[in-house]
Amino acid sequence: MTKAAVEQSVTGYLFSLYGTSVRYVAESPLLVAPVHELLRYFRRDSLEESAALTLYFHAVQERAEIPLTMSSSARQLSFGTGAAVGDRRETGLLYKVIQDEGRWIADFCDVGVLVMDGSQGRADGYLIKPETLHVNVIEYLFHLALTDLFRHRGLYTIHAAALEKHGRGILISGNSGRGKTTSSISLLRSGYRYLSDDHPLIQDAGVHVEVLPFPTKMNVTETTIAFFPELLDVLDPAPHPGSHKRSFHVEDLYPTSGGERCRPAMVLFPHVVDACHSHLERISKRQALELLLPQALLVFDPEVARREFQILVKLARQVDCYRLHFGRDMPDLPNLITPLLEQAR
């Protein structure tokens, strides 16, 4: 039986995210659980039509088993590490990105290779000895491939926490250690609803940009736990291997916390300061855009990058933008934020 026939005969796992259907096929059980955890809220038993996106993840034991061939026109676009990919998926993986006739290839050396073809709605992942990889690495690689395919369908992601209250959204954007998750928990316990801890989806809705929920486990440090001791009742027993963070499902602590897609009204850029009280500093739309751009994942397709830039410009124009100087009064943050959110356009 040919490879194409084998792929056709495998049902795979089905998901649906905001009108985009996804089929995931994994040859190894080791590659299934991390994806089910990432997309647990979007799992479907069946789809009304054929999946728009298909991702195949293959387990191999040696790099030589990866069936990757490239044309003479292939060119390297980027190289580096995956250390700055978001609070949930810091990996430190060495990588290089190669463009080859409409595909882009992310080569993670001894970990594996991703091959993405956005125009065809297909991604292939080849993971070397997945039994030796931490589940966070498998989840990260799948998420990277999925978000690249999403861009070609008008769905984009940004490194930010996202919450909603009475149909108005808040994005809390910034690098790890700036206080995004702590800010989110402070707002959640006062009645805000949860959209995402790290990578919400954003979409152009015509006259404005919408933020769409992408809920995942929330990861917290011991410092954050000290401010909110109720977290101890729901946290995983131990930190992730190689990490100082523990995680929990938000709905286990805040049962009514699930938010809906909404129009964002405010974006905050937090950083922790040594002060008794937190305060907000209004910033310009241009400043906000400059801070938002590094929080979008790398895009190598010029046309896709242009569309994503336009969406970020529209987002910055429609929201009120603040730098949050986050002091030691963390549980009182809603008293500072909520009145401004209610006044927002």
Q: List, as one string, the DSSP characters of 38-49.
A: HTGGGEES--SS
Do 35 and 167 fall within a single domain? no
Do 171 and 141 fall within a single domain? no
Q: Which residues, in sequence order, are CB contacts of 111 under 8 Å at separation 6+?
A: 93, 127, 128, 133, 137, 141
Q: Which domain holds residue 242?
A: 157-343
From 108, 131, 153, give the residue that closes a domain: 153
Choice among 74-88, 121-135, 149-163 with the minimum mean pLDDT: 74-88
Higher pLDDT, 140 or 77: 140
Do 139 and 234 fall within a single domain? no
The CATH number of whichever domain residue 323 belongs to comes to 3.40.50
Do 121 and 229 fall within a single domain? no
Do 247 and 298 fall within a single domain? yes
Do 195 and 301 fall within a single domain? yes
Do 239 and 107 fall within a single domain? no
73: in domain: no
From 104, 133, 153, give the residue that closes a domain: 153
76: in domain: no
137: in domain: yes
**Chain-wide mean pLDDT for the chain?**
88
318: in domain: yes
Using CA atoms, how far residue 317 sits from 113, 243, 267, 307, 310, in Å, is 38, 37, 11, 16, 11
pLDDT attached to residue 178: 82
Do 259 and 121 fall within a single domain? no
Do residues 188 and 194 touch, judged by C-beta distance below 8 A?
A: yes
Do 193 and 142 fall within a single domain? no
Total Cβ atoms within 10 A of residue 88? 25
The amino acid occupying position 114 is L
Distance CA 236, CA 225 (A): 12
126: in domain: yes
pLDDT attached to residue 223: 86
Alpha helices in the chain (DSSP H): 3-9, 33-38, 135-151, 180-188, 222-227, 250-253, 285-292, 302-318, 333-343
pLDDT attached to residue 92: 66
From 107, 129, 153, give the residue that closes a domain: 153
Quickly state the pLDDT bin for 177 (edges 50, 70, 90): confident
The SS3 assignment for 226 reads helix
DSSP code for 297: P
**For 15, how many CA atoms within 13 A lie in the half-sphere containing its CB?**
22
- 285, burial (CB in 10 Å: exposed 0-12, middle 13-18, buried 19+): middle
Do 195 and 131 fall within a single domain? no
Do 167 and 143 fall within a single domain? no
325: in domain: yes
Number of domains in the chain: 2
pLDDT at 304 over 90: no
Do 128 and 227 fall within a single domain? no
The amino acid occupying position 291 is L
Quickly state the pLDDT bin for 305 (edges 50, 70, 90): confident
